[in-house]
Amino acid sequence: MDNKNNKSKKKNSIFRMLSNAFKGMFFGNNKVEMSILEEEQMQSPMRTIIRNFLGNKISVIGLIVFVAIFIGCFVYSAINPLDKYFFDITQKNIGPGLDIMSMPKELNGNVKEIGVGSTFSVGVDNNGKMYTWGKMDPRLVESLKANPASQYKIKSASAGLNHILAITEDGQAITWAPKRFKLETLPSRLAAEKNVKQVAAGYQFSVVVTEEGYMYIWGNTNFLGSLHQDSIPEDVQWNVDKVDVSTDNVIALLKDGTIRVMGAESPSYRNVPDLKNVTDIAATDSVMIALSEGKVHAWGNPLHNLMDVPEDLPNDLVNISGGRYHFLATDSSGMVYSWGRNNYKQLDIPSNIESGKTKIKELYAGYFQNYAVDEQGKVTKWGLKGYLMGADDYGRDVFARLMAGGRLTLTVGAVAITIQVIIGVIVGGFAGFYGGKIDNFLMRFAEIVGAIPFIPLAMTLSVVIGNKLTENQRVYLIMGILGILGWSGLARLVRGQILAEREKEFVLAAKATGIKERVIIFRHIIPNVITVVIVNATLGYATSLLTESSLSYLGFGVLEPNPTWGNMLTGSQSSNTIANYWWRWVFPALALSMCTISINMVGDGLRDAIDPKSNDR
């Protein structure tokens, strides 16, 4: 019982010491009062080191920052695994912010129609006023300023990649777009039309349908294969009731209730089912669906589970809508159903809709955003809200890659410094304890290893054998190179410490009792110099992070699609990126800087805690 009580008292005293230290650091109370027993317990070396370290506010802050970064990278990556192969060019170079779905308050409750684009949307209210929100191309913003939508009474609108189409109350078509692919101007014949029925803004092209069933198409129709204005089939022209568009195809619902697919028409798209009495159509980037007699029929490329139409869909569906990689559908009772890819939570139907409490009247699905309008005109939205740290030149989430890249960078550094410590301690321990020829041989070998130019060798190995390795094997190669070539400095440090320790009385006593020499080295001497090893390893960890990042930045370390902080900076070398897309290099550089600086702060604090006299030198 006495032993248990003593242990409990020691734990409580240490806890009070840590608590008082943190209170003093954050609340200014630096005076730590201890009992005589606590002061006696504080005489052990480890407690002295802890006390000295906690007294250094800068080092404690560095430790907190590093631990926060370390835990954040690993926990976030575990909860939200990164699909390193996913990219979407429609999200290219989107700036930081979570405002893609920040719909104006004036529109909520007064919605007539919503058009969903790549990273922005347009909405029309019951009074004919058009609203825009989200992240728009600056050139589109200039087009809207040059021809304000406020001068028109809008009946319908559609948003595409970076342009807008609308229909006025008079039945005329209007377009706003950058001066590219002639999207900013209407075809001459269309400009005179006053009976436009539908507009569809696609991927760098536009489609308009008139009340008579005539279809106009213009813009960058290279994506559509042989489809252009003059190649629209005769049996389609003048017979179109509704259209929907994907990146490289146009699906048309004809007046007789049949469907036609036009455009690039990949082999999977050609397998159009022979359907009649079709009431609605929808398209994603790889799959199309048609609603016939309340049932959904799908065809196309079976990617992202888009062909896996839920079996529990009712037979009274009234509306279907497609985004880039997902579908939504509503039935006659106002229930919403979803399927497809869920990388931006575009399938996570809000609880008020899923439970049936809110009856949906209209449904609008776009690239990665969804808007549902209930019977009172209130809007519920879900899907991609934006990117906390922006998107890169491939449309990938910078924050998600920063977390996954941090996990890989920190892991590479940790494994490398572990290898360095193991080799350095073993070599330095034997060299310092035995001396003589063994010392001379091991130290000359360490000098040879230390003299090898690290970065040129790593670049050479990367070129010679790197292309023959898989992605994971390349990561292991970088870890091995960093570890095997970085131990020489630590070995010399351990050797020097052991030279001083081996002449002390406890070593002579151990020899006299017949303890084996390797046991003396690793169980009696090394523990007395381990604090110096810890300090060196801490500082070496920061160096390993910088070295790995430098190699990856130069293109000789960990390569895409595996993210690291170094290779995230590789694509940020151009002056255009630095000037216009600052988030692509600021956040990775800031993360790497904060991590290495905080580790160095911890290392300096440990060094000062172990040897308080170092502050006086």
Task: Check residues 229 and 453 and name the one with the higher pLDDT.
Answer: 229
- So what's the pLDDT on residue 40? 47
Q: What angle do CA 510, 487, 612 make, to 5 degrees?
A: 65
Euclidean distance between CA atoms 242 and 257, whole angstroms: 10
Which stretch of 77-81, 343-347, 495-499, 592-596 has the lowest confidence by average pLDDT? 495-499
- So what's the pLDDT on residue 615? 54
Which stretch of 12-26, 436-450, 479-493 has the lowest confidence by average pLDDT? 12-26
Q: Determine the straight-line distance between the first and last CA of the chain, rounded to whole angstroms.
A: 47
- So what's the pLDDT on residue 611? 67
- Is it the case that residue 156 has pLDDT exceeding 60? yes
Residues 64-75: tens digit of each pLDDT: 999 999 999 999
Residues 100-142: tens digit of each pLDDT: 999 999 998 889 999 999 999 999 999 999 999 999 999 999 9
Taking CB atoms within 8 Å and a gap of at least 24, the contacts of 314-320 are 317/291, 318/279, 318/280, 318/294, 319/280, 319/291, 319/362, 319/363, 320/280, 320/281, 320/282, 320/289, 320/291, 320/296
CA distances, 307 to each of 304, 349, 393 (Å):
8, 19, 29
Task: Check residues 479 and 206 and name the one with the higher pLDDT.
Answer: 206
Residues 375-393: tens digit of each pLDDT: 888 999 999 999 999 999 8
Euclidean distance between CA atoms 438 and 498, whole angstroms: 14
In the predicted model, what is the mean pLDDT of the chain? Answer: 85
- So what's the pLDDT on residue 524? 78
Task: Check residues 437 and 8 and name the one with the higher pLDDT.
Answer: 437
Show the beta-strand stretches assigned E in 384-532: none
Which stretch of 181-190, 216-225, 530-539 has the lowest confidence by average pLDDT? 530-539
Euclidean distance between CA atoms 405 and 590, whole angstroms: 13
Tell which phi-psi region holds residue 231, choosing left (phi > 0), alpha (psi between -120 and 50) or beta. alpha
Average pLDDT over residues 44-68: 84
Euclidean distance between CA atoms 71 and 407, whole angstroms: 9
Euclidean distance between CA atoms 601 and 63, whole angstroms: 8
Query: Contact 313/352 with Cβ under 8 angstroms?
Result: no
CA dihedral over 293, 299, 302, 304, signed as positive or negative = negative
Would you place residue 350 in the very low, low, confident or very high pLDDT band (cuts 50, 70, 90)?
very high
Residues 474-500: tens digit of each pLDDT: 888 888 888 888 899 899 988 888 888
What's the one-letter identity of residue 144? L
- So what's the pLDDT on residue 36? 46
CA distances, 79 to each of 71, 73, 284, 408, 575 (Å):
12, 10, 28, 16, 36
CA distances, 9 to each of 4, 29, 45 (Å):
9, 23, 18
- So what's the pLDDT on residue 19? 56
What's the one-letter identity of residue 262? M
Task: Check residues 215 and 434 and name the one with the higher pLDDT.
Answer: 215
Which stretch of 76-90, 437-451, 601-615 has the lowest confidence by average pLDDT? 601-615
Average pLDDT over residues 81-100: 92
Residues 357-378: tens digit of each pLDDT: 888 889 999 899 999 998 888 9
Would you place residue 37 in the very low, low, confident or very high pLDDT band (cuts 50, 70, 90)?
very low
- Closest residue by Cα to residue 282 from 364, 162, 192: 364
CA distances, 388 to each of 95, 155, 223, 339, 453 (Å):
9, 34, 31, 26, 40
- Is it the case that residue 258 has pLDDT exceeding 90? yes
- Closest residue by Cα to residue 180 from 140, 217, 149, 224: 140
Query: Contact 94/394 with Cβ under 8 angstroms?
Result: no
